[in-house]
Chain A
Amino acid sequence: MTGVSGLVVEDLVVKVHDIQAVKGVSFEIGRGRRMGLIGESGCGKSLTALALMGLLPHGVTASGRVLLNGRNLLDLSDKQMCAVRGNDIAMVFQEPMTALNPLMRVGNQVAESLRLHKGMNRAAASARAVELLERVQLPEPDRTARKYPHQLSGGQRQRVVLAIALACDPAVLVADEPTTALDVTVQAEMLRLMDTLVREEGASLLLITHDLPVVASICEELLVMYGGSIVEHGDVATVFDSPRHPYTAGLRASTVLESTDGSGRLSTIPGRVPSLGSFPTGCVYRNRCPRADDVCGTVPLLTAPPGSTQRAACHHPIESDQPLGSGKASA
């Protein structure tokens, strides 16, 4: 399924003051593969991303293995990680206004990464920065390079952030809600751009979002996260067509606003995401799950039925010929 190994994550645990916020997550993104990571707020998505980048805040620790080019990133010192971050693994943040330095011209911000990691001199880095701004399709790249972030629109700023992330041809690109703050047409352009660039560079993409249709648009594989665990994994089209985990089915049903429960009301997931540390024992989803029973007191394993690669962590998975009670959607 995967080609040359890109990023391998094994049993990643992230602890916030002794509470497990990410509970032993494992996945693998092959070179040139595009993986989506979805779930509601408070499910551990962003912590997973920050752990990969070595950017966890104080008091939050990660253990397990994050393997990139044969090295475990979690073993590296801060100094070693600085050399990796932005060079081998880069990130696109949600809010470009806070990701960019407001007092620095955007060209210099792109060039900074090149000077730091590639040891380019000022002139070479500036010239390359203009090329990169052109690659992310900013109009008049040489003039744009001299502008400050506040002089650009939201979509243009996000392109600058993407240019910075791509500056050193990273092997892995992590994008955390990269298009959430953008208008639909700008979002579509941004997704098209990310799709093209990732394909051309053969980089592995990890796209984190709560927007399922965005994942469907550019990813091949999908991880569904809830309560700090991966609850479903598989091919994007398959998972969205016939989710096996009730949580995935619930997310899908509440996304598709045409799907109602018969009385004209939208289907929703009952209850809400518990706060950190108050998820139930056993299956993390059992207090909101329509299918939960006594068996769910034990932790389900992430397994696939014979002959399939669609893994779900559920004691009572939905079989493909048996729709969930919440009405069939017509997307």
Chain B
Amino acid sequence: MTTTPLLEAVDVVREYRSPRRSLRTPGQPIRALDGVSVQVHEGEAFGIVGESGSGKSTLSRILMALDQPTSGTAFYQGQRISGVPERRLGFLRRDVQMVLQDPMSSLNPRMRVADIIAEPMRALRLPGDHRARVAELMHSVGLPEEAVTRYPHQFSGGQRQRIAIARALAAGPKVIVGDEPVSALDVSVRAQILNLLTDLAEQFKLTLILVSHDLSVVRYLCDRIAVMNQGRIVETGDTESIYADPRHPYTQRLLSAVPTLSGDLLDRFNRSST
């Protein structure tokens, strides 16, 4: 594609320092990201897959400028966002919003739902009738409008995740980044939230970035995926072609470890790990 990607990371390296073991030597650096480049295009659903510690969350944080790379740069609409002071990132904060894994810890338990959903609009000083917008958002995510006066603990897990999604939509973003948005939910609720995300992405012309270790969820939702292992992207491409024909041994091993209803997991997994 020749168009400018919506979000892009170019040769990003992120090092953390491990805690020092001695007073004389500093802690050893750990490479969480080791030269990662990705492009996310407008309107697509992009999945970042990998196991814990593979660097997938770090990458998503750098793409949102919530973290700064040690070297390399991230761009949004061709504009540099790494190393830029927060006061000049207002445009990004409005355009890119996030849904986290556990709504019980991502929603403030002492705020009413109306305030939770209106907070991004207040923080970004957006004009307009916030109360009407909250009502509209409640409707979009399938929650009763009168529930806005309630607190997060009065909702079920799936409903809380709907509140988190309504909050992410409040500022009218172009991109939604979901970091394991359905991992904490029951299977039946998971399907409801996935349906909601697909509907909303279509309705609001959103670009989705989904960070997940759950390969079946990524497969359902994403057009393109990047598979990460130990801070590197080992394979990237169309979701269906990667699932049908994984090239990298790590991807093959990852896919073979996914249990299915046919119950042949252990056979497959034994074969792939020998």
* Cα A217 to Cα B257 with chains together (Å): 11
Determine whether B213 belongs to the interface, using a CB cutoff of 8 Å to chain A.
Answer: yes
Bound form: Cα–Cα A49–B151 in Å = 31
B185 smallest CB distance to A (angstroms): 9
Contact present for A257 and B191 (CB under 8 Å): yes
Which A residues touch B213, using CB under 8 A?
A: 183-184
Q: Provided the pairs A183-B51, A184-B51, A268-B195 are in contact, do residues A192 and B261 lie with their beta carbons within 8 angstroms?
A: no
Q: Are the CB atoms of A257 and B219 closer together than 8 Å?
A: yes
8 interchain residue pairs of minimum CB distance: A213-B259, A216-B263, A217-B265, A183-B51, A188-B257, A254-B191, A257-B220, A266-B191
How distant is the Cα of A187 from the Cα of B262 in the complex, in angstroms? 17
CB contacts between A and B, total, < 8 Å? 108
Q: Which of A226-271 contact B (CB under 8 A)?
A: 236-237, 240, 250-252, 254-258, 264-269
Q: A210-B186, A251-B188, A266-B191 are known contacts. Are A41 and B261 too (CB-CB below 8 A)?
A: no
Chain B residues within 8 Å of A254, by CB: 187-188, 190-191
How many residues of chain A get a CB closer than 8 Å to chain B's CBs? 42
Closest residue on chain A to residue B49 by CB atoms: A184
Alpha-carbon distance A267/B192, docked complex (angstroms): 8
Q: Is B215 an interface residue (CB 8 A)?
A: yes
Interface pair B260/A213, CB less than 8 Å apart? yes
Q: A252–B253 Cα gap in the complex (Å)?
A: 25
Instruction: Specify which of A240, A264, A266, A273 lies most central, judged by the most chain B CB atoms within 10 Å of its CB.
Output: A266
Within 8 A of B (CB), among A179-199: 183-189, 191-192, 195
Find residues 200-248 in chain B having any chain A CB closer than 8 Å to their own CB: 213, 215-217, 219-220
Whether a CB of chain B sits under 8 angstroms from the CB of A24 is: no
> Which A residue's beta carbon lies closest to that of B215?
A184
Are the CB atoms of B187 and A212 closer together than 8 Å? yes
Which chain B residues lie closer than 8 Å to A188 at the CB level?
256-257, 259, 265-266, 269
B258 located at the interface, meaning its Cβ lies under 8 Å from any Cβ of chain A in the complex? yes
Q: Which residue of B lies closest to A256 (CB)?
A: B261
Q: B28 interface residue, CB < 8 Å from A?
A: no
How far apart are A248's CB and chain B's nearest CB, in angstroms? 12
Contact status B266-A192, CB under 8 Å: yes
Which positions in B face A, CB cutoff 8 Å? 51-52, 156-158, 186-192, 194-195, 198, 213, 215-217, 219-220, 253-254, 256-266, 269-270
- Enumerate chain A residues within 8 angstroms of B266, measured Cβ to Cβ: 188, 191-192, 195, 217-218
Q: Which residues of A contact B264 (CB under 8 A)?
A: 217
Asked if B191 and A213 make an inter-chain contact with CB atoms under 8 angstroms apart, the answer reads no
Are B186's CB and A40's CB within 8 A?
yes
Asked if residues B188 and A213 are in contact (CB atoms below 8 Å), the reply is: no
A251 to B187, CA, bound (A): 7
In the complex, residue of chain B having the shortest beta-carbon distance to the beta carbon of A179: B259
Quick one: closest A residue to B54, CB to CB? A183
Q: How far is the CA of A2 from the CA of B186 in the complex (A)?
A: 31
Does A71 count as interface, using CB distance less than 8 angstroms?
no
Contact (A255, B257) CB under 8 Å given A192-B270, A265-B195: no
Contacting A213 at CB < 8 Å: which of B192, B220, B265?
B265
In the complex, whether A169 has a CB less than 8 A from a CB of chain B is no
Q: Return chain B residues, CB-CB under 8 Å to A211.
A: 187, 259
Q: Which of B156, B195, B215 has the most CB of A within 10 A?
A: B195
* Contact of B191 with A267 in the complex, beta carbons under 8 Å: yes
Is A154 positioned at the interface, with any CB of B under 8 Å from its CB? yes
Q: A184-B258, A191-B259 are in contact. List 10 more A-B contacts (CB 8 A).
A: A40-B186, A184-B51, A184-B254, A210-B186, A213-B258, A217-B259, A240-B263, A250-B188, A251-B187, A257-B191
In angstroms, Cα B221 to Cα A248, docked, is 24
The residue on B at minimum CB distance from A253 is B191
A161 to B181, CA, bound (A): 28
> How far in angstroms is the closest Cβ of chain B from A309?
18
B189 CB to closest chain A CB, in angstroms? Answer: 7
**In residues 56-75 of chain A, which contact B (Cβ within 8 Å)?**
none
| 12 A-B pairs (CB sep. < 8 Å) | A184-B51, A187-B257, A188-B266, A211-B259, A214-B259, A216-B261, A217-B259, A217-B263, A236-B263, A255-B261, A257-B219, A268-B192
A1 within 8 Å of B by Cβ? no
Q: Which of B186, B219, B254 has the most CB of A within 10 A?
A: B186
